[in-house]
Amino acid sequence: MAKHSDKKISAYNKEVLKKQYIQTVIGIVFFLVVRCLFRRSSLKPKHIYGFLAVQILSAFCVFLMRKMCIVKGANPSVKYSGVNFLDSTHVVSYLFDIIFICRFVTYTTSFSEFYYWFLLVIPLYAIYKLISKIIYPMLKNSSAPAEEEPALSKTQQKKQARKEKIKYAH
């Protein structure tokens, strides 16, 4: 049963990666067509550099997803399914978010350069996660005084249990 689910997971992951490649090519073609045909006068080197930076970021995320998709075991001929792309608890969900933000920026910057500012969402969200999941819990635990009772011996525990025992009046 486990091998069957590994096969399903692997097939799904490959299909997702195939769709990512196709969508990336469509985004690149769309940007180039709109920029070169309709907005050639506003095409400057800084826009080309921005476009390349966004595409490199997107390609890097897809490359990471591909690396996580298939894991080779101790025997190089045996491949395991790796990370399940359907599971939202892994880093893959953040990679999908980054890829979709990059695609949004690619499509929208075809019409206006203003949309490059949306790339700031990525580091701002990373800072938010860093503070909320790592820094804040560390500060919360370190600021709370540790009120631990000293360990009691067995006889002391028995004496304390006798004191706390409820006595019923007859």
User: For residue 126, how many other CB atoms are within 10 A of its CB?
Assistant: 12
pLDDT score, position 26: 92
Across residues 67-90, what is the average pLDDT? Answer: 67
pTM: 0.67
Q: Are 126 and 116 in contact (CB under 8 A)?
A: no
Q: Exposed (0-12), middle (13-18) or buried (19+): which is 106, by Cβ within 10 Å? A: buried
pLDDT band at 69 (very low <50, low <70, confident <90, very high): confident
* Residue ranges of domains in the chain: 2-131
For 98-110, how does the pLDDT look when each residue is reduced to its tens digit (9 = 90+)?
Answer: 889 989 988 888 8
